[in-house]
Amino acid sequence: MKKRTIIFGFLCAALLFTGCEDYLEVGEPKEQIGSPKVFNDDRMAVSAVTHIYTQMRANGFFAGNRFGMGYYLGCLTDELEVVNPQSSNHRLFYEGSVLAGNNGIRDVWNHTYKQLYGANSVLEGLQESSGVSAEVNSQLRGEALAIRGILHFYLTQTFGSVPYVTVTDYNINKSIEKMPVVAVMEKAVADLKEAEELLSPEYPSAERVRINQRVVQAFLSRMYLYLQQWQLAAQYAEKVLDDPAYEMETVEKVFLKDSKSAIWQFKPDNPGRNTLEGTEYIFTVIPAPQSRLSMELVNSFETGDLRAANWLNKVNGNPENYCAYKYRQRSATSASQEYSVVLRIEEMYLIMAEASAHLGNTTDFEDYLNAVRERCALPPAVATDINAMTAVVLQERRRELFCEFGHRYFDLKRTGKLEVLAASKPGWKSYFNLLPLPENELLLNPRLLPQNPGY
């Protein structure tokens, strides 16, 4: 019988490389990530880290396909309307019938902890290595720490109290306890702050497909926003905004591979391929094969908004069938034209606007918010009190960040407004502020109990 870790069944198995990816033109090691041979030289060590990016692009919280958590959360909220009766998992989210045994939740959980295992393997391997140069060692440690912090951030925002895994040791992980959200967030911030010290503002490759210091600072800005630490949220957003390497693009260029607004992207797995988002969200026949944009989202755009003209596509002229059109390429092209955008500068503008509102700086609130609106051909927005200002920012985030890794769910949750979904979602339940911990994990590790309320 194969040995299993009680919390994460796959963690004690070898994390093997498939050799089928062509990420950054760095070959993947044929050894396991934790094998000493992987860390004999710079090239092999780099390939261990880039393989984690490949896995993040394909599965878990950052997958752009319908099996990624972002797609599930779009179905749970008011972004997507599931029209395929055979799409059972997605319909359960859409109808508010999510249970602890849901396969989609189980898979996202498992893939995420597999990615965490990879990050921890890199950190342990680098600590023992003498074959990796000091410069590359620092860069890779920074990337692995950032990945660890970011993934735990998503886990705790989705599931609440979760384990914070920092080692690959089976004997420790088999009965690890979960931590309160506050403790998980503290550890995630600490990992990112350590990564910030290790990384440079420059990218370690020619493209924006690996984590650098600005990626870390952008995520710290978001984390502090979620923690309502407004001054720190603004401080870290400003670090990114002050870098001339990043600037807002016109709406039709935001999701191209050479977009200047991109802070962090995922590169397709092979030359000529484009994004999982383009393949998944675009449809050309009615009914849609999986889902369509909700009319609540479509109708939220103001008249003349260039985002509506460029990012919403009315399929075959049907007024009730819109698909997300941020990515235009549904299939392969002669050369890759689009990369999945994980993080972009427009979010930093919106964080600055929201933080400024809470700090009582009306001028900065208007300047940062209206910079986003101006590039969409919209008139300036004016708000005079904190409630009005935060409502305006929330609506702007809805239109700017839809179908991008669950922003709508997390924004409504952190602002205490998830209950607005009850008006358009008859199956909505108040305890959907957390998703259930996977049922099989609770059976394997009682220290994960109790289950989240309602499940």
pLDDT in tens, 272-322: 999 999 999 999 999 999 999 999 999 999 999 999 999 999 999 999 999
Amino acid 135: pLDDT: 97
175-206 per-position pLDDT tens digit: 999 999 999 999 999 999 999 999 999 999 99
Q: Which CATH architecture has domain 230-422?
A: Alpha Horseshoe (1.25)
105-126 per-position pLDDT tens digit: 999 999 999 999 999 999 999 9
Residue 387 reports pLDDT greater than 50: yes
229-281 per-position pLDDT tens digit: 999 999 999 999 999 999 999 999 999 999 999 999 999 999 999 999 999 99
Task: Tell me the chain's radius of gyration from C-alpha atoms.
Answer: 21
Amino acid 35: pLDDT: 57
Residue 74 reports pLDDT greater than 90: yes
Closest CA to 270 of 366, 173, 319, 336: 336
Looking at the chain, the whole-number percentage of residues with pLDDT higher than 70 is 92
- Mean residue pLDDT across the chain: 93
Amino acid 272: pLDDT: 97
What separation in angstroms does the CA of 400 have from each of 19, 163, 192, 418?
37, 32, 26, 19
Amino acid 37: pLDDT: 67
Amino acid 224: pLDDT: 99
CATH code for 1-199?
1.25.40.390
Residue 212 reports pLDDT greater than 70: yes
pLDDT band at 431 (very low <50, low <70, confident <90, very high): very high
- In single-letter form, the type of residue at position 398 comes to R
103-128 and 42-58 are packed helices; what angle lies between their axes, rounded to 10 degrees?
Answer: 170
pLDDT band at 378 (very low <50, low <70, confident <90, very high): very high
C-beta neighbour count of 208 within 10 angstroms: 27
Which of 17-31, 70-84, 397-411, 414-428 has the lowest average pLDDT? 17-31
Amino acid 201: pLDDT: 99
Q: Which long-range contacts (CB under 8 A, 24 or more apart) does 411-419 make?
A: 412/77, 413/157, 414/225, 414/226, 415/390
Tokens of residue 294, six digits: 């909700």
350-377 per-position pLDDT tens digit: 999 999 999 999 999 999 999 999 999 9
Closest CA to 292 of 7, 79, 5, 12: 79
Distance CA 361, CA 378 (A): 22
pLDDT band at 34 (very low <50, low <70, confident <90, very high): low
332-344 per-position pLDDT tens digit: 999 999 999 999 9
Ranges of CATH 1.25.40.390 domains, the chain: 1-199, 230-422
Amino acid 13: pLDDT: 37
Amino acid 170: pLDDT: 86
Residue 28 is given by DSSP the state P
Amino acid 4: pLDDT: 37
Amino acid 36: pLDDT: 58
C-beta neighbour count of 335 within 10 angstroms: 10
Amino acid 350: pLDDT: 99
Amino acid 12: pLDDT: 38
Tokens of residue 413, six digits: 């949750």
